[in-house]
Structure 1
Amino acid sequence: MRLINMRPARPGAVLLAAVPFVVLLVAYSIASDMRLAANPQDKLLPAPATIAETAQRLFTVPDKRSKEILLWQDTAASLARLLGGVGISAALSLIFGLAIGLLPYARATLSRFVAVLSMVPPLALLPILFIVFGLGELSKVVLIVIGITPFMTRDLAQRVMDIPKEQIVKAQTLGASSWVIAARVALPQVLPRLISNVRLSLGSAWLFLIAAEAVASNVGLGYRIFLVRRYLAMDVILTYVIWITLLAFVIDWLLKTVSRRAFPWMEAGL
């Protein structure tokens, strides 16, 4: 049997999925043991047990000054910024994607503009955003919107243009207006793609958020990571990195579940 036709059973698939994580953990443990054996005061690669103890402290012990658990405070602030930026980006990309894909005048006016915007490095605009919108929440949300909206818009517009012309012609033959065609023909076929775009854009959204928080913020996951780096607190940094990764995974899983249940005819391949 050819390798391309061999599929692992469910238990085997779970085991194979766990292998890279186990290998990474073992490699880290070995490297940490080697560095700590040479220098017990080494802070670069703290032992897994040290990271676990730090994580327990960060999740449960309040800060002595504010009397609040800083990790939960940082998580709430970062998630509010992330979800706000991604939500606005999804709405804008859906509106403009439908318009560019369906309306020739909108396509002639906006398609090249959106293409140029997608080529602008968002992080290069960060100082401008701080000047224009200040150092508060708005500039961080705007950075996420600028960073991911153009790509999502271009992909959704292309998806709309890929809709078979026969469907649109039949709808017009039945007397459907442009609004009805957008809502009843294009929208149901674009929404699964929108969820996929959001999932694919989450990594970039986290990158822009952490960069903005590192530069100008007094609360947030990115702010805390860059705050403790001056003390070489790698156990805290790694705990925050693992926590961010877990949050990103949970959000991605939720979006995948929503896509599968709302659009059962579409297999979520990502």
Structure 2
Amino acid sequence: MKRLINIMPSPGARWLLGLVPFALIAMVYLGMSNARLAENPDDRLLPAPATMAETFLTLATEENMRTGQITLWADTFASLERLLIGVAISAVIGLTMGIANGGLPLVRAKLSPLITVVSLIPPMAILPILFIAFGTGEAAKIALIAIGVTPFLIRDLQGHALHLPDEQLIKAQTLGASSWQVLTRVLLPQLTPRLLNATRLALGTAWLFLIAAEAIAAQDGLGYRIFLVRRYLSMDVILPYVAWITLLAFLLDQLLAWISRRAFPWYHAGEGDAS
């Protein structure tokens, strides 16, 4: 008898099995929505899919009379700009300090305790400080993302660097490599794919900080729009926006995964179905 742990679904079966939970969630929502709308046709808590689709299409195609912009795309571009800048800053700092902390004991002794302490500070707790220091413009929102994500990347890359086989470092030094060459030719190539994976894991946190910052102080953005319409119980806007954010996050995650697999196929060797 074949053991359950050895049963591997085909690619097509994996797709079908992956769609099952989404289908169940959709069925549950439809049942609850139909029940509430049957009791009260004006119920706003669980709008019908057709209502949400109509609202989403309006937001995606019609210009806002006040701003002259198409609301959905203006919000999307504003949020993505903040997110990508914040994550890019975090990635650069995280890779640089991760290599330095992981490869240079003197640097690690000085900075590792500080990074550990900073990583334990709830970024949302210092959001008022950021608004005081940077104002309510773009800088504070980007800084919140960078402060929230960077310590995680540094600690992850530092830990990965410390777990690299000592034989690699010893062999490089035996062949005459300087400290700089060890960092750039041994650590950097092996930590770069790790950075992409760590960034994928940090994207959810980055979105959280972005939405929170936009909800508190912004004039556009996906988070701003959700918190703007919540006072009107406009679930026909909120739910499609949440689904849209989820789709954007998924696409960014898959883009990073694709870049990692294309640029560093050796790093993903033997992963099997992992994505």
TM category (shorter chain) comes to over 0.9
Which AA in structure 2 matches 1:225? I
What corresponds to 1:41 in structure 2?
Answer: 42
What corresponds to 1:243 in structure 2?
Answer: 244
Q: Which runs of 5+ in 1 are unaligned?
A: none
Which AA in structure 2 matches 1:138? A
What corresponds to 2:216 in structure 1?
Answer: 215
Deviation at 1:9, TM superposition (A): 1.1
Whether 1:263 and 2:241 are equivalent positions in the alignment is no
Deviation at 1:12, TM superposition (A): 1.0
1:5-154 → structure 2 map (5 Å cutoff): 5-154=6-155
Structure 2 residue matching 1:65: 3-state secondary structure: coil
Structure 2 residue matching 1:266: 3-state secondary structure: helix
1: CA distance, partners of 2:153 / 2:98: 8
2: CA distance, partners of 1:126 / 1:184: 38
- Alignment size in residue pairs: 270
Deviation at 1:67, TM superposition (A): 2.0
2: CA distance, partners of 1:266 / 1:155: 16
Deviation at 1:223, TM superposition (A): 0.4
Which AA in structure 2 matches 1:125? I
Question: 1:31-54 CA distances to partner (integer Å, 9 max, x unpaired)?
Answer: 000010111110000011111111
Deviation at 1:65, TM superposition (A): 2.1
Structure 2 residue matching 1:44: 3-state secondary structure: coil
1: CA distance, partners of 2:107 / 2:11: 48
Which AA in structure 1 matches 2:186? V
Whether 1:186 and 2:187 are equivalent positions in the alignment is yes
Which 4+ runs in 1 deviate beyond 3 A?
none
Deviation at 1:70, TM superposition (A): 1.1
1:196-211 → structure 2 map (5 Å cutoff): 196-211=197-212
2: CA distance, partners of 1:66 / 1:95: 41
What corresponds to 1:167 in structure 2?
Answer: 168
TM-score using structure 2 length? 0.97
Question: 1:40-93 CA distances to partner (integer Å, 9 max, x unpaired)?
Answer: 110000011111111111111111222210111111110000000000000001
TM-score using structure 1 length? 0.98
2: CA distance, partners of 1:143 / 1:39: 42
Deviation at 1:202, TM superposition (A): 0.3
Which AA in structure 2 matches 1:245? T
RMSD across aligned positions (CA) = 0.9
